[in-house]
Structure 1
């Protein structure tokens, strides 16, 4: 009977049925027989040979399985040891290649996102054709190229028919300003060139307001270029000169307007303005040298030593502030409060953000009879949850148990990164980007708002930080230093190192960032809008 089994194993070995032969040969009675030992040696070498074939074909698991079988039969044979070493080296190299390929695909995606489509394409060309991740990024690259070509064609058509505003809108809405495509570069160059001509013409005609609007509209495209930067600086000097005049400092406005005259020598209105301001400055000097000047030491200074723009703005505000009888201060009414309790921040090139100033916000389906403050387009059976800020902590509460980080709770304190699941298709991610700020962010997935342009929800406490760092509430590379937005006395104020323009005019802290007016902070353009019911 044993000889018969050995013969069966030999026949299986001869026919190439190595696994069948292995099952017979591993029995103890076969291994102890002298014919069985001869069989085991031949079988082990055949299994090693098959393992080498698997290894050459890149079938590492099959090769490793054969190596283990050969080792079980033949023990520490040199052929088995060599095969195991070769398999380990091949698997290590394959893992390194996978990591390199993943890094290559990630780099290609980053280049594509940054607008370098050709660079991303060259990186992807080095990836194997069978790589699924590379194939997906190639599809994204092709879609980005089609979108870019279509947007460029539309913008060029608008320029050819003289519609500069339409071309600028196309660039802004499609994000062409971030593209590094050569054809896009030529298009942006044409737009900037025509914008410079339009701004210069408006300045020469005295239409400072219209020139400021074009400066704001060109912001998403970029204000680089010496000629454009020169005109932007000229506009800023015009605004500052107007503030000095309104503040009763015409002498400080003269050098500013003379610098503007160097940029726009054909502007006839500047000659008249300089002449009038010069006469006004001389008149102020005459008054100062007369009897009224003797009382200036006791009066509130009008022309103090400070020459900053902030001083001019403050003096301008006090000059035009209406004189009313002294009375008890009253809380501003809803009608006079320019900053509502909830509003939308629309930032060019970044997206829209729904801001809640309330410490307590209810969240649920828009069809719920409870009328949640944050209405979501979700399953009507989704429960309504409440997120409330108490001192420096946030809590989520719901009458129906909900999942927070996979645990069913009715109430829980929230921490940065917590995942709140209201339903399988309605998930909220809670973020506290800055440990020093109690302003939080909510990222919604599955469900959505009725405003597709809104990316995140901001639960504003004291401030909102906009900047390039990870601890900023809103991330953007359009500013080098963080911009702080904060509410005070019913106004939205701003603190930034860059210049701040509101509706093309200098920022007035007494008014704040007006609702519905375009705001420009350096290269950052945004609008604070009311949330329509």
Structure 2
């Protein structure tokens, strides 16, 4: 059977090994020039654990259980379920709804700040408040709901202080797209305003650049 053109594109874009149960990528890396690197997790359920764990969506270099903590996005709320010792703002928790900003302590050493920076987006950011990192090393974890905003504002999911405009990555069905102002260069081709991305795309504006990489 001949695949329709749209299905051919998505088959090439996301292989079965990178697909989650919702038909979108399980995770990928976002590398932003002069800002940092982030592990993007679009699935609504994400598990954190130690670096040798096959059960963890986010392996962290620290003294953690193989499945230490699960975060579940339910509508516009995040539910925490602890499988190992976890404190929220200094208090032990087992299962709870996360506030929009809080500090999570996993075990005796790994500290993460949870933040939902944009009032109109359910996406959230986890930043390391200790010296630990994901494996491979990144500066933080983006829990991507509908979109991720990169820009100079404090309400951006990725704050880019030197940028003059914002860029949004968002899902259109199971396709990942990028929207910005003015002329963009995506994988060497000039486009205006909006473009479809792959998990290996390089995207440039007048004064900024980022690229994606499969995780």
The normalised TM-score by structure 2 is: 0.84
CA gap 1:355/1:478 in 2 versus in 1, 3 angstroms: same
Change (3 A) 1:478 1:492: farther
CA RMSD of aligned residues (A): 2.7
Given candidates 10, 14, 34, the residue that maps to 1:349 is: 34
Choose the corresponding residue for 1:425, options 91, 100, 109: 109
Separation of aligned partners in 2, 1:447 and 1:334: 35
Gaps of 5+ in 1: 1-323
From 152, 157, 175, the equivalent of 1:473 is 157
Do the aligned residues in 1 keep the contact of 2:85 with 2:107 (CA within 8 Å)? no
Query: Which sections of structure 2, spanning at least 5 residues, go unmatched?
Result: 15-23
- Is the aligned partner of 1:336 residue 2:12? yes
3-state secondary structure, aligned to 1:418: strand
Instruction: Report which stretch shifted further, 454-463 or 439-448.
Output: 439-448
Instruction: Return closer, same or farther for 1:477/1:443 CA change in 2, 3 Å cut-off.
Output: closer
Q: Verify the 8 A CA contact 1:431 1:441 in the aligned structure 2.
A: yes
Question: In structure 2, which of residues 48, 53, 61 is the aligned counterpart of residue 363 of structure 1?
Answer: 48
Partner of residue 459, structure 1: 143
Distance across 2 between alignment mates of 1:332 and 1:518:
21
**Contact map agreement 2:28 2:39 (CA 8 A) in 1:** yes
**Which has a greater percent of strand?**
2
Partners in 2 of 1:442 and 1:353 — Cα distance?
10
Contact 1:332–1:490 (CA<8 Å) still a contact in 2? no
CA, structure 1 residues 361+381, in 2 after alignment: closer, same or farther (shift >3 Å)? closer
Q: 1:510 to 1:436 in 2, by over 3 A?
A: closer
Larger Rg: 1
Distance 1:483 1:436, change over 3 A: same
1:401 Cα deviation (Å)?
4.4
1:490 to 149, 154, 174: 174
Aligned residue in 2 for 1:387 = 71
The alpha carbon displacement at 1:448 in A equals 1.9
Q: Indicate the residue corresponding to 1:529 in structure 2.
A: 213
Structure (1/2) with the larger helix percentage:
1
Q: What is the Cα deviation at residue 351 of structure 1? A: 1.0
TM superposition shift of 1:425: 1.1
4+ aligned runs moved over 6 Å, structure 1: 329-334, 508-511
How many residues end up aligned between the 2 structures? Answer: 204
Whether contact under 8 Å (1:507, 1:513) holds in the other structure is no
Provide the rounded CA distance (Å) in 1 between the counterparts of 2:9 and 2:164. Answer: 37
Structure 2 CA distance, aligned partners of 1:365 and 1:342? 17
C-alpha distance in 2 between matches for 1:438 and 1:332? 30
Structure 1 window deviating more from structure 2 (351-360 vs 484-493): it is 484-493
Change beyond 3 A, Cα 1:413–1:332: farther
Q: Distance in 2 between matches of 1:480 and 1:494?
A: 17
